[in-house]
Amino acid sequence: MTRGVKQINRSCSIPGCPDEVSAKGLCGFHYHRLWKYGSVMADKLRHGPKVHRASGTGHVTHQGYLTIRINNVSKFEHTWIVEKVLGKSLPKKAIIHHIDGDTLNNNPSNLIVFPNQAYHVEFHKRQRAYEACGHANWKSCEYCHKYDDPNNMYLQRWHKECRNKYRRNKWAKDKLK
């Protein structure tokens, strides 16, 4: 588009949407969906279409978690449920994980409590390793990204061959400088 020439208003490319184009042929609403979820269609969104709840039953945050208010205290519903099951409040650094990834499924059997974020990160590392190779204890090589037994790796970070390739490439680049 050349400077000084005003673009003619166009409507969103999504059928039935009368809004004006904001970016990439989409209105602001559909472009935000594309940016956030990777899809503009409601049935393909990570959390499905927007959930409308009855008045006074809480609301769904933009991250997809349900919040409710009990005794003038507003918390995530999954936090209330875990605290009720445990019979006490959670520690400040505790993290609640949804097993199936659905943040609206707050069934107690779908929730895991981690003492802090480090345990939660470690859980996801082990889960990725198990899904990739069938061994939760195996590590990913930082060079070739293949999973292997940590005993076969140098400092549990690289395959010995990968480390040697990396060092040879680095030395070659340094020599050219």
Question: Residues 6 or more apart from 93 whose CB is under 8 A from it?
Answer: 115, 116, 117
CB distance 143 to 155 below 8 Å: no
> Residue 5's pLDDT is what?
47
> Residue 18's pLDDT is what?
82
Full DSSP string of 27-94: -HHHHHHHHHHS-SSGGGSTT-SPPP--TTS-EE-TTS-EEEEETTEEEEHHHHHHHHHHTSPPPTT-
Place of tokens 């970016």: 23
User: Is it the case that residue 149 has pLDDT exceeding 80?
Assistant: yes
Nearest Cα residue to 143 out of 113, 168, 109: 168
> What number is the average pLDDT over the span 13-41?
74
Which three-class secondary structure state does DSSP give residue 155? coil
Q: What is the pTM of this model?
A: 0.57
Among 21-30, 47-56, 134-143, the minimum mean pLDDT is found in: 47-56
> Residue 171's pLDDT is what?
85
CB distance 44 to 37 below 8 Å: yes
CB distance 177 to 170 below 8 Å: no
The mean pLDDT of the chain is 80
> Residue 96's pLDDT is what?
94
Among 86-100, 107-121, 155-169, the minimum mean pLDDT is found in: 155-169
Tokens describing residue 103: 């943040």
> What number is the average pLDDT over the span 59-83?
85
Domain boundaries, the chain: 9-48, 59-115, 119-176
User: Is it the case that residue 66 has pLDDT exceeding 50?
Assistant: yes
> Residue 41's pLDDT is what?
62
Q: How many whole angstroms separate alpha carbon 31 and alpha carbon 25?
A: 8
Report the share of the chain in percent with pLDDT over 90: 24
CB distance 77 to 98 below 8 Å: no
Tokens describing residue 122: 């470690």
Q: How many whole angstroms separate alpha carbon 70 and alpha carbon 80?
A: 9
